[in-house]
Amino acid sequence: MLQPISAGTAKSDIVVLPNDTNHYGNIFGGALLSYMDRTAFIAARKYAQNDLVTVALNDMVFKAPVKVGETAEISAKVCYVGKTSLDVCVTVMSGEKKIVDNAKFVFVSVDRSGKPVPVAQPSFANAEEKAEFERRAKERKRE
Ligand SMILES: CC(C)(COP(=O)(O)OP(=O)(O)OC[C@H]1O[C@@H](n2cnc3c(N)ncnc32)[C@H](O)[C@@H]1OP(=O)(O)O)[C@@H](O)C(=O)NCCC(=O)NCCS
């Protein structure tokens, strides 16, 4: 069965409140990771239509801080699909400021006993989607 890769997308807006900040008044990295993981999970589940667990996080760099009171937009999309795993690429923007660029959350589709099970293979609406998938497949081979 094929699933359009574009089915695996999600976005979340957050506002940085004091309980999510460090002592410098910037968002605490662990809090932002948690919001990113949730958004990535939603994208992954929309694609896989199955239970998933997070197995790895790659290319995670905090490029700029988000200050208390500021908002940020988290964008997540499935960018690679293996046999039982899939990667969700996540970017975070605060206005024009890039906070995180293309972090990769890797999820594994599992059955009720937590054993990996196959995910649907992707179909592509255009050459751009296919090229991005192939780029990520090459990166995966090098990791
Ligand atoms: C995820 C889990 C089920 C994988 O089990 P496993 O026996 O290692 O399974 P496999 O070795 O067959 O790997 C399954 C898939 O995960 C991928 N994978 C495993 N470790 C990986 C890693 N470090 N980075 C990227 N992919 C990884 C494999 O490449 C494979 O992908 P494929 O089927 O698309 O080729 C198991 O490691 C687990 O339960 N981990 C804990 C998950 C968890 O609790 N997460 C936190 C809360 S959600």
Residue 137's domain comprises: 2-142
Q: Can you give the pLDDT at residue 43? A: 98
How much distance in Å is there from the Cα of 108 to the middle of ligand 1? 6
Our count of domains for the chain comes to 1
Q: Nearest 5 degrees, angle CA 2-CA 44-CA 76?
A: 115
pLDDT(140) > 90: no
d(CA 80, CA 128): 13
Q: Nearest 5 degrees, angle CA 123-CA 126-CA 132?
A: 80
d(CA 19, CA 35): 14
Name residues contacting ligand 1 (CB within 6 A). Answer: 53-56, 82-85, 106, 108, 110, 114, 116
- Indicate whether this model's pTM tops 0.85: yes
How much distance in Å is there from the Cα of 84 to the middle of ligand 1? 8
Please write the tens of the pLDDT for every residue from 53-111.
999 999 999 999 999 999 999 999 999 999 999 999 999 999 999 999 999 999 999 99
Instruction: Kindly report the CATH number assigned to the domain that includes residue 105.
Output: 3.10.129.10
Whether the CB-CB separation of 66 and 99 falls below 8 Å is answered with yes
Q: Can you give the pLDDT at residue 109? A: 98
Whether the CB-CB separation of 52 and 119 falls below 8 Å is answered with no
How much distance in Å is there from the Cα of 138 to the middle of ligand 1? 19
Whether the CB-CB separation of 54 and 37 falls below 8 Å is answered with yes
From 51, 55, 79, mutation site for ligand 1 pocket: most ligand atoms within 8 A of C-beta? 55
d(CA 76, CA 42): 9
Please write the tens of the pLDDT for every residue from 97-131.
999 999 999 999 999 999 999 999 999 999 999 99
Q: Which atom of ligand 1 is nearest to the CA of 52?
A: 48
Q: Can you give the pLDDT at residue 142? A: 82
